Amino acid sequence: MEKIKVGMVGYKFMGKAHSHAYRDLPLFFPESLRPEMKVICGRNESEVAKAAAQFGWEESTTDWKNLLEREDIDLIDINAPSDVHKEIAIAAAHAGKHIFCEKPLALTLRDSKEMLEAAEAAGVKHMVGFNYRFAPAVLLAKKLVDEGRLGEIYHFRAFFLQDWLVDPNFPLAWRLQKEIAGSGSHGDLGAHLIDMAHYLVGDVAEVIGMNETFIKERPLPANMAGLSASSNADGEKGPVTVDDATLFLARFKNGALGSFEATRFASGHRSTNSFEINGSKGSVIFDFERMNELQVYFNDDKEDVQGFRRVVATDPAHAFSEAWWPPGHTIGYEHTFIHEMVELMDALREDRQPVPNFRDGVKCQQVLEAVDLSIEKRQWIQISELD
């Protein structure tokens, strides 16, 4: 079986999720191209060496540029913070490397377009990490929409609710600094909702939004480890320069209406990533915290049994089920990353662009930026204004 030699930049939460995907993919998808975990890269030499040993990478380095010079690297996986996505992706494209980049693609729409242009000019494959598309229950929703089984789509409502920032003593992590993260809940969580809307319903025509930063300053980080971090609560504070919550309304080009909510201040919601689609023939509800299930409702059910019912998307009729377990044996968050890497490996073998790719990343960035502009101008913004 052909191998795809991977160099990865980033080793924390997403680095672990991607490493797991590369390691387990051959076990469950033996027909796919096999990822070879060559080099993992991170700023802290001892930490990234530890990650290499723990995750199963052959080598570790602190200089991402030397990944690009190596003949034995085919694919660059970028899951470091958003402020380095553009520089690394464009350099990787120029070096003729295929690219997987975590979401959001870039800090700005302009940067994301430059990344797409560089990747297309170089003729390399490029993928963006909207992993929730790859939950079998989401793929079932996609099938129902595409087969017309929900009829004409009237509504798409989605919310991504977390609560890891409710504590005012949580330190000023990189996700709270605009120059590193680009935005707060909007680009981190809202990006997933926007991509899901594009995937399931279609293009957005216009948006209007609102946002808030509830806690304006936070203790400077004593040390950071992913989303949970220690801080010197009585120490020096710094300004939060991103949104804590962003909500927006959208009108789709096909006439459907959308409502979107992303927040890290929804106490009690650890990671409620949910959408509902209402159509002329029925509805579906997906809730990531019950990610194997899709609630479905069909208007033509007999009157005495009409109501939402729960489908557990683990049967042979459902996507990816043949790779896993017998019906009813469920899978988890980490398996969505394996599925997205299967798509990448298949695209590389079939010499086609994977989906979602940088074009989808640019489309997402366009809506993110249109919402920001609508907030600034306090008016509806046409997506076409940002072409």
Binding residues for ligand SOE, rule: CB under 6 A, are 13, 162, 188-189, 227, 271
Q: Least distance from C-beta 264 to ligand SOE, angstroms? A: 7
- Minimum gap (Å) between residue 341 Cβ and ligand SOE: 15
Q: Which residue lies nearer to ligand SOE by CB, 13 or 325?
A: 13
- CA-to-CA distance for 42 and 102, rounded, in angstroms? 15
Q: Which of 177, 97, 8 is nearest to 348 (CA)?
A: 97
Q: Is the Cβ of residue 33 or residue 338 nearer to ligand SOE in the bound state? A: 338
Nearer to ligand SOE, 86 or 175 (CB): 175
Per the CB < 8 A criterion, the answer to whether 189 and 269 are in contact is no
Radius of gyration of the chain (CA): 21
Q: What is the DSSP string of 152-202?
A: SEEEEEEEEE--TT-STTS---GGG-HHHHSSSHIIIIIHHHHHHHHHHT-
Smallest separation (angstroms) from ligand SOE to the CB of 143: 23
Measured at the CA of 90, the angle between CA 33 and CA 175, to 5 degrees, comes to: 90
Residue 300 beta carbon to ligand SOE: minimum distance, rounded to whole angstroms: 35
In angstroms, what is the minimal distance from the CB of 52 to ligand SOE? 22
Is the CB of 136 or the CB of 282 nearer to ligand SOE? Answer: 136
When the beta carbons of 16 and 97 are compared against ligand SOE, the nearer one is 16
The letter for the amino acid at 235 is G
CB of 11 to ligand SOE, least distance (A): 15
CB 158 within 8 A of CB 247: no
Nearer to ligand SOE (CB atom), residue 108 or residue 271: 271
**Closest to ligand SOE by CB, 223 or 228:** 228
DSSP 272-292: EEEEEEEESSEEEEEEGGGTT
Residue nearest to ligand SOE (CB): 188
The torsion angles phi and psi of 265, rounded to 5 degrees, stand at -125, 25
Cα gap 256→283, rounded to integer Å: 13
Residue 227 C-beta: closest distance to ligand SOE, Å: 6
